[in-house]
Chains A and B, each alone.
Chain A
């Protein structure tokens, strides 16, 4: 199992509160997506605990789509502190995205969304939690090696290596090729994270 790093109180408190206030505001736009992890129809994940749901995204930056939100400039401090605290240099940001999950009927504490990797090439992934919530992040033992005949890599036999509870201003870092997923909250009216993918220099 590769490294996982967890940082508490990642941003200075005043900076965190400013960012949290902006993203949690009723004036902050979110965009509907039918699947939060993987399109079920295209991915033959055989895991009885895995339940995919819809949700909402806000793309701050996406290199592939050539998209940059007006809010991205407010995240430059976060990107800077990530480089400083994690002692790394981002060669290129691939995608920076906010994500919201809602308390959905039928979802239990044993369920999680479909295990996945964000990209099928070497990269690093960061999940930064913006509110206290349930709906743990699961990191699985399995690591993506190759696409294989099914076109998606692993699709069964996932085993949970670690669960990380969403906590405001907590940052989770891991190798982007490690399978992972999120969960819908049960007791909180929404679970909000920022999700970054980048190449390291």
Chain B
């Protein structure tokens, strides 16, 4: 697991932030950022999503803006990157208490296949990324969605220009932001070490 600050030059960090928060970058509403339509208690956590790449297909003209991040990240850890399966950006905002089922979203893995997660933070924010010591080989039916039931391997504070790189087999989640917007770009990457 790697946490690397200023993975890309500051001017490039600024450009990505400017574009994603501009009045010409489209966001799409999701009623629940964990992709569960409804929590059992009826409370969900709305957010906005932008899909850059889906199932190895580029689906956004903005992908060329963000794709170099993967090259910087994988090169820095000597990972031989072959393809990006999925790339999404999330824009979360500090929700009022009526919409916080939990202050932390559900544990999940992005994809049920071997992959590397490259998580880039567009802005400074609160709302840590939490990675726990539970892997996908475990029976999904047995996975408790509450991160507190597992050993925390790392809790990473979002910081503009910071990237977190980890094996996609590890279950992870995010804390909801409470102070300002939280914007990140998530790459699910194929390749080998």
Contacts and interface: CB of A to CB of B under 8 A. Distances in A.
Given A54-B181, A102-B46, A31 B24 contact: yes
A189 B107 CA distance: 22
A104 B26 contact: no
Interface stretch (A21-29, A120-128, A170-178): A21-29
Size bracket of the B interface:
20 to 34
B96 A186 contact: yes
Interface string A45-75: 0000000001011010000000000000000
Given A104-B94, A107-B96, A29 B23 contact: no
Nearest to B32: A189
Nearest to B97: A105
Interface residues of A, number: 25
A32 B25 contact: yes
Contacts of A26: 28-30
Contacts of A34: 21
Contacts of A187: 98
Interface of A is mostly: loop
Contacts of B181: 54
Contacts of B31: 189
A153 interface: no
A29 B26 contact: yes
Interface of B: 20-31, 44, 46, 48, 91, 93-99, 178, 181
